[in-house]
Chain A
Amino acid sequence: MSKLFDARRWLRLIGDFDQFLLGMKTTLLVALLGLLIALGLGLILGILSCVKLYGFRLLARIYVEFFQNTPLVVQVFFYSFGLPFLGIRLPDFMVGVVGVGLYHAAYIAEVIRSGIEAVAKGQVEAAKSQGFHSMQTMRYIILPQSLKVILPPLTNQAMNLVKNTSVLSMIAGMDIMYYAKSWAGNNGFFYQGYLTAGLLYFLLCFPLARLTAKLENKARQLPTVTTLRMMEVDS
């Protein structure tokens, strides 16, 4: 216990805190770029799994099943240690971005698919009867309505993505966990190093968790508000 509360060790941590900030920068950048890839690819795959054409649905299915059913660590090790043997070398930073991006795209695709499927079938039929073609139906009728179903699990995915960037530490990816391990190991101050890493990840994820809760609340309230507005327009 004395080791946990040893002031000298915490002072050393404050002195070396720039290392942790370097790690924080990498983690943030990897998470942001990874999220962009995951959102873009996830949206495309999510829509593809709802189209009529069987080929597209199959393609999306294979992607989702493959990436959901293999561990992220294995995927990242493949990008880092496997690809070089095939003549492709990605910098560690890109391994992180591509790793969490492709992995979470599979999960986000499923979130989007379930969101689209949650919109009542009558809406599609109504849109069709008003002359919307399928792209327009998706853009103006289905996606806006599925948004409230999609948003809470989507922020949840963003949070998981941030945490999963810590896999980078295993391939020396210079993220928060890498510097925490390095600092803790070099000094022998494991409590201080790992607690700080945990705290930094918490700081990144807690706002996202609050946002998820807020969006969930909002999703529950939305219907009554819309009905009122529509009635005013009608009168």
Chain B
Amino acid sequence: MKHITKKLLSLILITLLLFSLNGCEKKDTIATIKSAEVLKVGCKQDVLNFGYLNPDTNQYEGLEINIAYEIAAKIFDCSLEEAKNKEEFTAVNATTRGPLLDNGDIDVVLATFTITEERKESWNFSTSYYTDAVGFLVLKDSGITAANDLDGKIIGVSNASTTKDAVTEYLTEKNISVSFKEFDTYPSVKVALSSGNVDVFSVDRGILSSYADDTTLLLEDRFKEQDYGAATKLENKELTELVDGVIKDMIADGRLNTYKEQYNLQ
């Protein structure tokens, strides 16, 4: 027994040592990004009109990608065209975007990231650049046509998203009870919907519309407006202010609206 205690103790000590090594992080400032000559942005690769990796061109495109270019142009003080070469995109999903930001693997997250009070405790958010509402996508042959048909159904949502709370709130008001299954990516929720493992695919309507096809039906319901913001590391105040400034400028001079029109977003 004594033997084991000793072993466990040394194990704990080694673990602590490893963690303390991890503590020697370098400071994150705009100067670090400038000297690296690259802005690392976490974006979606599977959401049309927001962040989408176009398989034909192998280029990212969407509203959030354009915002990322604007931010890079501001940091490096260059034109939008030049900014495109100083950008490194990493595809993220709802589960990975937080840890990647904390690790310093990415500087900014522009990935349909909804601003919430809880999340503000972990990350900094910019002014919102887009507002969307949550909706429901169902299979046409399921017979579901309105929220009232959802009693007892299984709702598929993305892991680490705000959808679950939004749906619960919306349906509780209507006295409808449902259960949830969480998946890592939107495509896996879609597969679960098609194979019948879940009855409903729920997320923001802008995202849902890119998964709609001729077998699916997007219900009329829209609820719980979600404000998307650009997230930065909690400690990195300097970058947060810069990003927020860029988005505020874009709203003020109408550039943001121009981009939204370009992608048919309201």
Contacts and interface: CB of A to CB of B under 8 A. Distances in A.
A and B from one complex = yes
Interface of A: 1, 3-4, 80-82, 84-85, 89, 92, 170-172, 178, 181-182, 184-190
B197 A185 contact: no
B266 interface: no
B98 A172 contact: no
Given A84-B196, A185-B159, A1 B122 contact: no
B95 A185 contact: yes
Given A170-B184, A181-B182, A182-B182, A81 B191 contact: yes
B63 to A, nearest CB: 24
B174 to A, nearest CB: 23
Nearest to B181: A172
B101 to A, nearest CB: 10
B102 A3 contact: yes
B93 to A, nearest CB: 10
B166 interface: no
B195 A84 contact: yes
Contacts of A81: 191-192, 195, 197
A4 B102 CA distance: 11
Contacts of B118: 187-188
Given A85-B195, A185-B161, A188-B123, 4 more contacts: A1-B20, A171-B192, A182-B182, A188-B98
Contacts of B95: 181, 184-185
Contacts, number: 63
Interface of B is mostly: mixed
Interface in B79-100: 94-95, 98-99
Interface string B49-88: 0000000000000000000000000000000000000000
Given A181-B182, A190-B99, A172 B23 contact: no
B119 interface: yes
Contacts of A178: 182
Contacts of B98: 185, 188, 190
Contacts of A185: 94-95, 98, 159-161, 182
Contacts of B99: 190
Nearest to A4: B19
A4 B122 CA distance: 12
Contacts of B123: 188
Contacts of B23: 1
A77 to B, nearest CB: 9
B168 to A, nearest CB: 12
A187 B94 CA distance: 12
11 contacts: A84-B196, A84-B197, A170-B184, A171-B197, A172-B181, A172-B192, A181-B160, A182-B159, A185-B182, A187-B118, A190-B99
B19 A80 contact: no
B148 interface: no
A1 B104 CA distance: 13
